[in-house]
Amino acid sequence: METKKIEALLKKYLEGETSLSEESFLRDYFNKEIDLPEAFKSYQKFFTYYQVAKKETFPLIKKKTKLILRPWMFAAASIAIIFSLQISGFFTTSNSNDQEEALKIFKQFQIQMKHVSSHLNNGSQSLAYLDYWNNTTQKLIK
């Protein structure tokens, strides 16, 4: 008789329709019963979990001591950072290399502009010759 009642309560529990008193009855039943039917043994671990979890304790974690930072520690750390950046070459500037490269590029630009200028001058001389022929033909047509 009791197994049918437990089966009905388990069915209601799995569907989420049990009351708190019915759930506590199921917990008590699975915690007290030693000779459970084979069909209920899988549910026993499920309902006895809370009893086991209540007994479980965790070790207390010791508080870490507060690290005291002194002003001289900040100064030493900043000096170490600046020194390491200086060694790595972070603060060095290569102005001489940049200036030499800029002069080289400027000279190349000047050469290119001279070539463009000479080609434009040749073109303007050809246009002057065409302008002379245009004036001459206009005189002949009149």
For residue 123, tell me if it sits in a domain: yes
- Find which of 36-40, 42-46, 114-118 is predicted with most confidence, using mean pLDDT: 114-118
Distance CA 123, CA 119 (A): 6
Q: What pTM was computed for the model? A: 0.38
Q: Last residue of a domain, which of 21, 37, 55?
A: 55
Indicate whether 76 pLDDT > 60.
Answer: yes
- 72 is a domain residue: no
Expressed as residue numbers, the domain containing 38 is 2-55
Q: Is 16 left (phi over 0), alpha (psi -120 to 50) or beta?
A: left
Burial of residue 18, with CB atoms counted within 10 A of its CB: 0-12 exposed, 13-18 middle, 19 or more buried: middle
Rounded to the nearest 10 degrees, the angle between the axes of helix 20-32 and helix 41-55 is 100
